[in-house]
Structure 1
Amino acid sequence: MNGENTRSNTLTRKDFLRYMALIAGGSITVGQYVACQNKTDRYAHITGKINGASAAIGHRIREGSFPVPEVTTYTDTLIVGSGIAGLAAARKLQQQGIDFKVLELEPTPGGNAGFGKNAYAAYPLGAHYLPLPNLQHTALLELLEEAGMLTGYDAAGLPIYRETDLCFDPEERLFIHDRWQEGLVPQFGVQAAALSEIQRFLAEMERLRQVKGADQLFAFDIPVANSSADPVYTALDQISMRTWLEQKGYHSEELHWYLDYCCRDDYGADAAAISAWAGIHYFAGRKGKAANAESSQVLTWPEGNGRLMQHLLQFSKESLLPNSLVYQVTPAGDKVQVDYLDVHQGITKRIVADHCILAVPQFVGRRLLPARPPAANFVYSPWLVANITLDNIPAGSGYPLCWDNVVYKGRSLGYVNAQQQNISQISPDKQVITWYLPLDHLDPVNSRKYALGLDHAHWVKLIADDLAIAHRHIHALIRRIDVQVWGHGMIRPHPGFLTSQERHAVQQSGHSNIFFAHSDLSGISIFEEAFYHGNKAAENVIARRRS
């Protein structure tokens, strides 16, 4: 599959099984994958393991049959979920002196902003950067200032960011026509007509970045809730990004690959599966500026957005109860009863709260809250993230090693150099890179099912062979590969979803003291949206307490 224009055709289930058999060097029986029993010498030295969300425990919600809670406690506000939305809500409540507890299924907080660490580097398990925030997003700017990442403003009112938090040079490169070029937009070996088309597209995105609707709101903004409701622009949600490209006369192979890459990067699926509004928002929604950085620059850290998560966590660390499987949320008069399983103690407990914030995705929320309507239109893209420890990254022809390194027409989204932001004068003995793969070979349900069925040996071969496209002899240099499978990695803004009645309807719980907070409410899974919804839910709690 690597080396082809992978977005041109949709794999059938049979094709996918055959593909996975080939890359694993094993055999397949009907309905399941069979891992290769004997690794070849080429991969035998590579150690590691598969990590992942606690799916087996979480799936107990479907089974039900939990015993009556043995212990009951009380709090003002109960937050379910400690991803960015939950932690943002906790921060705002703590700043107001409001008592709260946070229940989290996993042993550690953070959701897809979590991170890991080995002897050589910290590394992200999911999200790994934050673009410069829009100047109108004052709440986020205040958070960055509070964390010391934003150090002040210049005379023109532009933020000044701490240099060690801005992505170090060189930032991005693309492996195309057997060499590395600077930047991810295809240039090397690209025909003049295609280059002209790419420039026309980028100019159009710049125009749309500044355009406003009849309501004088930006057509595309962050948070999404601030975007214009003008039908001229919202109608773009009814067609796919690929259809929009074709309607506008964009036909070059290189531009279509680049748009597939961008959509897979933020949404977990190619341009044919993503709303044109969302595809354009990828470019036009961001309007960040800084006094000491280009608008395209990003904030990043060795542990990715784990650095931001750690800052948020300090406001709720004492109130966090990990290893807690919430299985039912029940309105009870002016209270809310939240029942959960203490996984470590093996007993069920109940917290009675005045308010409840469900900082969980909709497919979880609808199982917790009685009479919650199904969220069938909410589609989640599965992902795989691998952190790879190796002796060194082989040099290639062309542009040198960057923070973000992508292969043109590659199956994966390439890798991030986790040590790019290292400010130590001492070079570590090993290098650590983070490799990203949106699991979009099949529809999300089947991609999720098959990915969760693969063993470590399969992933080692797939990942090492993908890296070998640009680094021919990298197999011998890899020491360890740790794999993180995200079964529901991010919400997918498929055509029609963002403007659907269903998305707007789920913003309300139907109960005056229960509030939702998750990036899937926006239809776009980025830090800014999760942070926005966490703050909004906390503000609703604060307002209700004052009424």
Structure 2
Amino acid sequence: MDNNPDLISRREFLVQASAGAAVLLTGAATLSCSSRSTSHIQGGMVGANHQAGHKLRNIPALYKLPISERLTTDVLIIGGGVSGLSARRWLNQKGIRDVLLLEMDAKTGGNAAYGKNAISAYPFGAHYLPIPDLRNKELVRFLEEVGAITGFDTKNLPIYSDYFLCHDPEERLFINGFWQEGLVPEMGVPTSDKQQIKQFFQLVDEYKQAKGADGLDAFTIPLERSSRDEKFRQLDTISFASYLTEKGFTSPFLQWYLTYSCRDDYGSTLETTSAWAGIHYFASRKGQAANANASSVLTWPQGNGFLADQLRAQADSPIRQNLLGYGLQRSATGVTVQACDVATNRTVVMEARKVIVATPQFITKHLVQHLMPERSTCTGFHYAPWVVANLTISGLPQGRGLPLCWDNVMYDTASVGYISANHQDLRDNPNKVITYYKPLTDEEPDVARRRAYTTTYEQWLTQILDELEVAHSGITAFVSQVDIWVWGHGMISPSPGFIWGQERQQAIQPIADSIFFAHSDLSGISIFEEAFYQGIRAAKEAMKAL
């Protein structure tokens, strides 16, 4: 039994949440549409310094900066996201300590960024980790090291910490004016549509069990360990939309759910997601545990920022922040790297025996343009822009149906819903932080990105509150703070032909056994598991070449 007095049972929580919801609903009924003033709401635009990254558009100007410092190291890692931190951790565990990591922002973590206030920590990016396949031994070991796995049962199945396993109630969907349990549409869905939904998930179960002629799983994580059988890989050449049409999956409710899934995991649509990636979303989850099932997830108030912080803590090699790498040149002893100190606008020159470039391709292409010009012209890497907002609230007007869950989605709206950041804290506290996610998929990514950067805080605030008011009438009056982060290049999109195409494979290849590459971009899917794997893969390659 857990001795933490701050935790209560799931049954008690549901009772309390239902009672609290009724109180909030009663209070909301007195609010009128004319009370939609937002003058009481504090906050603003936050986020990574994209202006620093934009310096790479004029590299000749960076080469003119005065040099303020010279350093040497065995291994230099450029990029402090999950892949870079994973590589640093792995090298440290193998006894490679002369390592330096550069991060152009003030904080490491990449898209596992998070914030914190008096109410709770909260994510600005990735916010959960599905329990992993036991064959992913490095990841299982890491989760054991950070206390997410507390032991193993007599069948050697991991026991996950109750603090980190997402508590019930986990998911709900607002549809037809009612909060239903789960995200697959049920309320008001015709029988014929329900039958199609059932058939789709039967097909997914078949794909989960499927193996190729090479004996490998058709779909798994890391995806590089998936079967090379053309029977499955040819699915990458067509869109998920075409695949569904071919299979006769025409139900608008099923199509909405699958569109939601693609937008949520990939920031893309059925038309811009490959069929292989669309199926992988469902068929690759094969985790096992003594106290959880394959669909269970681990989550924290700060989202995957918890995991990024743990990766950082597992190595003691130095990290230099606010340093933007901009030039890589081969030298007699390895690689010369130039970086701009964005605080002082001066250059730091580093000599490294080996370099791991753990940056997204839209950054990497600038770093290697003189060494390998062909890599700077890659056209297959497409990125989804996102908007993430954290709202601090003193109450949440609740409609009919299931009370507040961890993941809360509204049918047929612009966003993919919101999570309750302090869901794991089961104390009955009306003060909460909810994290709203919106992939910008209505326009071409470049157009959406430019529009996002020119949209004002007030405009975003209006859009977000207008949507939330649909399911939570009167919520605006309960909001005290809204902080908004625009991710111009939020995640790589697995467009048709990309995952198993030549361009991604070429981008993984090292340069002259001296420069190695690590990022979830190189998987084609932006999830923690892939970033973690890519960091270890690149670290192994660099260590072998030392």
TM over 0.5: yes
Deviation, structure 1 residue 210: 1.1
**Structure 1 residue 40: deviation in Å?**
9.2
Name the counterpart of 1:79: 77
Q: How far, CA to CA, are the matches of 1:200 and 1:156 in structure 2?
A: 33
SS at match of 1:468: helix
Deviation at 1:330, TM superposition (A): 1.3
Q: Residue 152 of structure 1 contacts residue 160 of structure 1 at CA under 8 Å; is this kept in 2?
A: yes
Residue in structure 2 matched with residue 366 of structure 1 by the alignment: 365
1:162 is displaced (CA, Å) by 0.7
Q: What is the 5 A alignment of 1:352-363?
A: 352-363=351-362
Other-structure match for 1:537? 538
Query: Which residues in structure 2 correspond to 1:387-398 (within 5 Å)?
Result: 387-398=390-401
Contact 1:215 1:230 in 2 (8 A): yes
Give deviations 1:345-386, integer Å, cap 9, x for gaps.
332111100110000011111101122422211001111110
1:112 is paired with a residue of what secondary structure?
A: helix
1:47 aligns with 2:42: yes
Give, in angstroms, the shift of residue 173 of structure 1.
0.2
Q: Does residue 209 of the first structure (1) align with residue 208 of the second (2)?
A: yes
CA displacement, residues 61-82 of structure 1 (integer Å, 9 cap, x when unaligned): 1112122533211011000011
Q: Which residue in the other structure is 1:408 paired with?
A: 411
Map residues 240-389 of structure 1 onto 2, 5 A cutoff.
Answer: 240-316=239-315, 319-369=318-368, 370=370, 371-372=372-373, 373=375, 374-389=377-392
Match of 2:19 in 1: none
CA-CA distance at 1:94 after TM superposition = 1.2
- The residue that corresponds to 2:498 in the other structure is 497
Instruction: Give the stretch that moved more between structures: 364-373 or 87-96.
Output: 364-373
The equivalent residue for 1:453 is 454
Using the alignment, how far apart are the partners of 2:295 and 2:36 within structure 1? 43
Counterpart in the other structure of 2:105: 106
Q: Is 1:417 the counterpart of 2:420 in the alignment?
A: yes
Tell whether the 8 Å contact from 1:334 to 1:513 is kept in structure 2 after alignment: no
Deviation at 1:429, TM superposition (A): 6.0
Which amino acid letter does the alignment assign opposite residue 398 of structure 1? G
Q: Distance in 2 between matches of 1:243 and 1:211?
A: 21
8 Å contact kept, 1:102–1:316: no
TM value normalised by structure 2: 0.91
What is the CA–CA distance in structure 2 between the aligned matches of 1:368 and 1:270, rounded to whole Å? Answer: 31
Query: By how many angstroms is 1:477 displaced?
Result: 1.2
* Residue 317 of structure 1: how far off its partner (Å): 5.7
2:172/2:181 contact within 8 Å kept: yes
Shift of 1:326: 1.0
Amino acid paired to 1:466: E
Measured in 2, the distance between the counterparts of 1:130 and 1:303 equals 12
The answer to whether the Cα contact below 8 Å between 2:92 and 2:317 also exists between their aligned partners in 1 is: no
Instruction: Tell me which residue corresponds to 1:523.
Output: 524
Aligned-pair distance for 1:540?
A: 1.1
* 3-state SS in 2 of match to 1:59: helix
> Which amino acid letter does the alignment assign opposite residue 499 of structure 2?
L
- The 8 Å contact of residues 131 and 296 in structure 1, kept in 2 or not, is answered as yes
- Are the counterparts in 2 of residues 120 and 429 from structure 1 also a CA contact under 8 Å? no
Unmatched segments (≥5 aa) in structure 2: 1-33
Q: Deviations 1:422-456 (Å, cap 9, x if unpaired)?
A: 15x5x556210000000112111110000011111
For each residue in 1:194-218, what CA deviation from the matched residue of structure 2 results, as whole angstroms up to 9, or x when unmatched?
1111011011101101100111111
- Cα pair 1:385 1:435 within 8 Å, conserved: yes
SS of the residue corresponding to residue 52 of structure 2 reads helix
User: Does the CA contact (< 8 Å) of 1:381 and 1:444 recur in 2?
Assistant: yes
Q: Does 1:487 align with 2:488?
A: yes
Aligned residues, how many? 505
Is the CA contact (8 Å cut-off) linking 2:36 and 2:476 kept in structure 1? Answer: no
- Provide Cα deviations, 1:255-301, integer angstroms capped at 9, x if missing partner: 00000000001110111110000000000011111110121110001
Q: Secondary structure in 1 aligned to 2:195?
A: helix
The aligned residue for residue 227 of structure 1 is: 226
SS of 1:225's equivalent in the other structure is: helix
**Aligned letter for 2:490?**
G
Answering whether residue 58 of structure 2 is matched by residue 63 of structure 1, we say yes
Separation in 1, partners of 2:82, 2:68: 30
For each residue in 1:297-332, what CA deviation from the matched residue of structure 2 results, as whole angstroms up to 9, or x when unmatched? 100010000111111111346511111111111111
Contact 1:361 1:518 in 2 (8 A): yes
**Unaligned 5+ runs, structure 1:** 1-38
What is the aligned-residue RMSD (CA, Å)? 1.4
Q: What's the counterpart of residue 185 of structure 2?
A: 186
CA contact (8 A) 1:363 1:375 kept: no
Q: How does 1:112-131 map to 2 (within 5 A)?
A: 112-131=111-130
CA contact (8 A) 2:36 2:477 kept: no
Asked if structure 2 preserves the Cα contact closer than 8 Å seen for 1:69 and 1:339, the reply is no
